Amino acid sequence: MTVTQIETTWQGVTLSELGQAARNHGMQLEGLRYDVTPLGMHYLVIHFDIPAADEASWTVQVDGLVDRPLTLSVDDLRSRPAVTRPVTMECAGNGRALMPPRAESQPWLLEAVGNSEWTGTALSPILEEAGLGAEAVALVFTGADHGIQGDVEQDYQWGFSLADIVRDDVLLAYELNGAPLPPQHGYPVRLLVPGWYGMCCVKWLRRITAVAEPFEGFQMGSYQLRQDPDGPGEYVTRQAVRALMVPPGFTDFPGRNRFLDAGPCRLIGRAWSGWGHIDRVEVGADGGWADAELGPKPDSPSSWRAWSFDWQAAPGEHELAVRATDESGNTQPLDPPWNYGGFMNNAVQRVRVLVR
């Protein structure tokens, strides 16, 4: 969809959607200029409320089908080997408001992403210490945020098959950019699953339970790619390949249209994928595409990769676009792939620019 098509198909945001948008927030796209997203700029979604939490009395239970149930304090977690890594996190609903007709939820445009440095301890050794029972096939992570959705009162939960979660890079994280997690990001401890969408990185983590059946909790039923509300759908898991750019030039208020002086203009941004390293980024100007220059390959594919492109801005109106391809061969669609929940919209970003 072009910018004009987005504008002409726009549906007004409801009071309930604004109730979400007023408290949750995206990363201002200027934030793409920082390799590590500064604290407070990283996107934020809180499903229910931010729980009151005290690190001193907080515990994480490891229970269910384990040989040795554990009760871990935050001090216990901090006394284990610490790992710090930049991880690109994105909301599965990023781009929802650009997929009409949209589900009533957080009405994201493009900004629900961030790449901060998370510090924590690896999950795997904790599972080894607890000893997963032979009949265990899945792990359920339960957070302290409590609420009602679809008439179901619940603590927020996400589940994984052992194959998906028993990985070296999964952390129980207690720091963000070198400081204790702020309350809104899961203080004092949250799950971090690099490469997957943010909804599975359970915040305010209280419990890890080994179970004998694949877990099908409420949230997992909600985060599926469906063509109708009741139909079956694939689970949302890994991040689809995506690139974003810092909109060039300057803006107006409140429209956020872009204005630029004619001449050379260096476009910059970041690209990421849950399916491997970024191999290629192309920039589209007025319909034609050309390769962008890629920044250094990050140590891990779970951290975004910088790109840049030197554009010659000629007077007039232009539409810029950016499209990434990952090493698995996935690339971004030109138009959003619609689904009922408004998930995984990785259609190319389009920015209209008026050059003077």
Q: Rule CB under 8 A: is residue 36 a binding residue for a copy of itself?
A: no
Contact of 185 with 179, CB cutoff 8 Å:
no
Query: Closest separation between CB of residue 85 and a copy of itself, Å?
Result: 20
Among 4, 5, 7, 84, binds a copy of itself (CB under 8 A): 7
Across the strands, what pairs with 350?
321
| Number of chain residues interacting with a copy of itself (CB under 8 A) | 63
Q: Largest Cα–Cα distance in the chain?
A: 70
Question: What count of Cα atoms within 13 Å lies in the side-chain half-sphere of residue 157?
Answer: 19
Q: Give the interface segment with a copy of itself, choosing from 47-55, 60-68, 192-200, 317-325 (CB under 8 A).
A: 47-55
Shorter beta-carbon distance to a copy of itself: residue 11 or 71 = 11
Least distance CB 165 / a copy of itself (angstroms): 24
Among 1, 6, 70, 265, binds a copy of itself (CB under 8 A): 6
Residue 133 Cα distances to 19, 130, 164, angstroms: 43, 9, 17
Shortest Å, Cβ 153 to a copy of itself: 8
Strands (E), 65-217: 70-73, 83-90, 113-122, 138-149, 152-161, 171-176, 179-180, 190-192, 205-211
Q: Is 104 in the site for a copy of itself (CB under 8 A)?
A: yes
Structure tokens at 287: 């319909």
Residue 40 in contact with a copy of itself, rule: CB under 8 A:
yes
Residues 226-255 that bind a copy of itself (CB under 8 A): 250-255
The DSSP symbol for 39 reads T
Query: Closest Cα partner for 34 from 230, 239, 306?
Result: 306
In the complex, the residues that contact a copy of itself under the rule CB under 8 A are: 6-7, 10-26, 28-31, 33-34, 38-42, 44, 46-50, 52, 97, 104-111, 146-149, 179, 182-185, 250-256, 259
